[in-house]
Structure 1
Amino acid sequence: MRSISDTIARLKKPLPPMVRAGDSGRELAPGESSGSNPGALRALLHVPLGLPAGSPLVVVLHGCTQTAASYDHGSGWSELADRFGFAVLFPEQRRANNPNLCFNWFSPEDTRRGSGEVESIREMVVAAVERHRLDPKQVFVTGLSAGGAMTSAMLACHPELFAGGAIIAGLPFGIACGVPEALERMRGRGHDRPNLASRVREASSHRGPWPTVSVWHGSSDATVDVVNAAMIVEQWRGLHRVGEPDTAKRVAGYVHRGWHDAAGRMVVEEYVIAGMGHGTPLATRGDEACGTPGPHMLDAGISSTYRIAAGWGIVPAVAPPRPMETPVTAPALPTRFDPAATINDALRAAGLIRR
């Protein structure tokens, strides 16, 4: 079992510099808030050119030490948005709130309905939907690590706002109050199993329908223990009132389990990526490929970004062939430059010498 000091060291370890927003060819524009922004977060937004009214919105929450732009570059969300037509909202943490740029998922003030960071993100969603005339019934949220834990908080505090959520290397809602408890839960210790679903019910007056939930976690995650994935599944399985998984198969070589409701809709799913550490699983080849490997952005041969979006129904279930770029052909150049021949050719063209 890892020590708390080891977990703290992992969180504080600086990452190699990531790219600027423009390095991916897609700029993130400053977004707006519809209220007072009590969590003092920054809003960034990507809306594809010509996006029609009634399009979906995906809210993406970065992990510790990351920025909105670096996580977008790594995960490929705005790349996918341009390809299939939806908007992406990127709430971004500030160092004044957390020196490691983690969302404060363990702070009661920031994870209570109407308060702190949860309220700031809700205000950003409302503003984006209203300004860009997006579909309020197709709003989704996803995040990595601390962003995954904050995704749990958003789904719990505002279940009426989201049709679905995807939690990557994250933690369940309501399991920590303060940093010491957060570090223990990240290590997989001290979970109170019987009360997981009730903590979501107590977060709001909402009584259903509940958002669908997709859970992704690496089996070798040394920062957030994989037991947390099982806890998230248990939390939402209880809310949806589903029992044992009714589907279990291998997808791209990894175990995928699913839980369907009485209407046949998959309401909870889980991907455990064997051998993967702490990060977002990516595919760098094939029609589903999007994003760029880097720190905590891991080439696992499966695209969590694409498959999450497909589960929400905002991209095709089977990825169409990627559009081909028209090659630019450069003019042919002589293999050898002959000054005398070039001069003679010019004189002949001017009629000054005979051929």
Structure 2
Amino acid sequence: MVHFSTLLASIAIPLFAALKQVTGFGTNPTNVGMFVYTPSRLASPPPLLVAIHYCSGTAQAFFSGTQYANLADTYGYIVIYPNAPDSGGCWDVHSTATLTHNAGGDSLGIASMIRYAISTYGVDSKRVFVTGLSSGAMMTNVLAGAYPDLFQAGAAFAGVPYSCFAGSGMWNSDCATGKITKTAQAWGDLARNGYPGYTGPRPKLQVWHGTNDQTLSYNNFGEEIKQWTNVLGVSGTPTATQTNSPLNGWTRSSYGPNFQAISAQGVTHDIPIQANDVLTFFGLNTSGGGGGGGTTTSRPPTTGTTSTGVPQQTQWGQCGGIGWTGPTVCVSPTKCIKQNDYYSQCQ
């Protein structure tokens, strides 16, 4: 698995509070580490975002190398950064225990963190979200299958379908190289079997993948689409397709309101995380994040493209900052306003 430290270091951000480790949070058979970022001002009740690091990464690296904590200062949600117990920093996304509701593995440790946050921090149980990169994206899919009762939505960057890595070892070459293909029904059945007998709502999902990913084959992107459209009960044919969304050359396919698949043309496994887009899909980038005021105003979901072919960012979207490679021009009448060296926003 490739290292993302260089990529994430280029977008590291200043933070207003420290990352805090929490212990004794509940059932945790594999000793997953729990680290929490709580902004100085919280929404009331606060939502929760679980942000899961890549293989070879750490909770601290994902905390400092992504914008989720910085954005929490604006929007008032709590962030949990799990830390993988494996010596290589990868997640158990292969064992029967981790793939099964309340059966064990790394996934149960993360589920316990969420339950702890709900009971201890007063987190809104109806506004819990999960996102991850690479091995963290695989865990995002595992949690969507094994713990659909805990999440409202998820976003997986450069991952593989739920259960694709199933087997006896931490690495599955057949899945990684895109050799495992199944029907939509077969993939869907695997995900549903993660929580036998569950009949409640399923989290809505985004999946992201670069077309030139040589670590986790782009073929897995198509398999994810088959799996989650089946689980969510929607057609495998997109209802809408947007080009240059959210970045130039990227294509967003929507399969109704609860599933999106974003293909990043020419991008490798080092896919840039689109934090603002994720928060929009989750409904987390809303006003009133501080001071106990709750959330009130939804932000537009995507960037667009003008008739002249110049990509423009919609209101409230990111338009600049160190490491930013997306649109820098805002749709009229909004302007790109600098928040800090790492983040500018269309307002």
- What interval of TM-score do these two structures reach, taking the shorter chain for normalisation? 0.7 to 0.9
Letter in 2 for 1:53: S
TM-score by length of 1: 0.75
Relative distance call for 1:324 and 1:177 in structure 2 (3 A) is closer
* Cross-structure match for 1:309: 279
Equivalent of 1:215, from 203, 207, 212?
207
Shift of 1:118: 1.1
Q: What are the residue-to-residue correspondences of 1:1-355 with 2, within 5 Å?
A: 10-11=1-2, 24-25=14-15, 26-94=17-85, 98-114=86-102, 115-175=104-164, 176-179=166-169, 182-193=172-183, 194-204=185-195, 205-243=197-235, 244-250=237-243, 251=245, 252-253=247-248, 254-260=250-256, 266-282=257-273, 304-315=274-285, 316-317=299-300, 318-319=315-316, 322=337, 324=339
CA distance in 2, matches of 1:221, 1:210: 28
| Contact kept? 2:29, 2:106, Cα under 8 Å | yes
CA distance in 2, matches of 1:127, 1:36: 10
Letter in 2 for 1:247: A
CA distance in 2, matches of 1:38, 1:180: 17
- Give the secondary structure class of the aligned counterpart of 2:144: helix
Of residues 171-180 and 127-136 in structure 1, the stretch that sits farther from structure 2 once superposed is 171-180
TM-score by length of 2: 0.76
Deviations 1:145-181 (A, max 9, x none): 1111111111111101100011110011112213387
Letter in 1 for 2:268: G
CA distance in 2, matches of 1:57, 1:128: 8
CA distance in 2, matches of 1:183, 1:213: 25
Larger radius of gyration: 1
Relative distance call for 1:14 and 1:126 in structure 2 (3 A) is closer
CA distance in 2, matches of 1:146, 1:165: 14
Shift of 1:245: 0.6
| Contact kept? 2:13, 2:70, Cα under 8 Å | no
Relative distance call for 1:181 and 1:191 in structure 2 (3 A) is farther
- Give the secondary structure class of the aligned counterpart of 2:91: coil
Relative distance call for 1:137 and 1:180 in structure 2 (3 A) is closer
| Contact kept? 2:45, 2:124, Cα under 8 Å | yes
| Contact kept? 1:31, 1:128, Cα under 8 Å | no
Structure 1 gaps, min length 5 = 1-9, 261-265, 283-303, 326-355
Relative distance call for 1:14 and 1:242 in structure 2 (3 A) is closer
Relative distance call for 1:221 and 1:45 in structure 2 (3 A) is same
Question: What number of residue pairs does the alignment pair up?
Answer: 285
CA distance in 2, matches of 1:137, 1:211: 11
- Give the secondary structure class of the aligned counterpart of 1:208: coil
Question: RMSD of the TM alignment (CA)?
Answer: 2.4
* Cross-structure match for 1:341: none
| Contact kept? 1:33, 1:120, Cα under 8 Å | no
CA distance in 2, matches of 1:35, 1:180: 24
Shift of 1:53: 3.0
Q: Identity of counterpart residues, as a percentage?
A: 24
Letter in 2 for 1:179: G
* Cross-structure match for 1:285: none
| Contact kept? 2:100, 2:193, Cα under 8 Å | no
Relative distance call for 1:179 and 1:131 in structure 2 (3 A) is same
- Give the secondary structure class of the aligned counterpart of 1:270: strand
Shift of 1:323: 5.6
CA distance in 2, matches of 1:224, 1:310: 26
- Give the secondary structure class of the aligned counterpart of 2:172: helix
CA distance in 2, matches of 1:99, 1:324: 38
Deviations 1:56-107 (A, max 9, x none): 100011011111121122221101111221111111012xxx2210001122
CA distance in 2, matches of 1:100, 1:14: 13
| Contact kept? 2:42, 2:77, Cα under 8 Å | yes
Relative distance call for 1:15 and 1:212 in structure 2 (3 A) is closer
Point out the structure with the larger helix share: 1
CA distance in 2, matches of 1:81, 1:104: 28
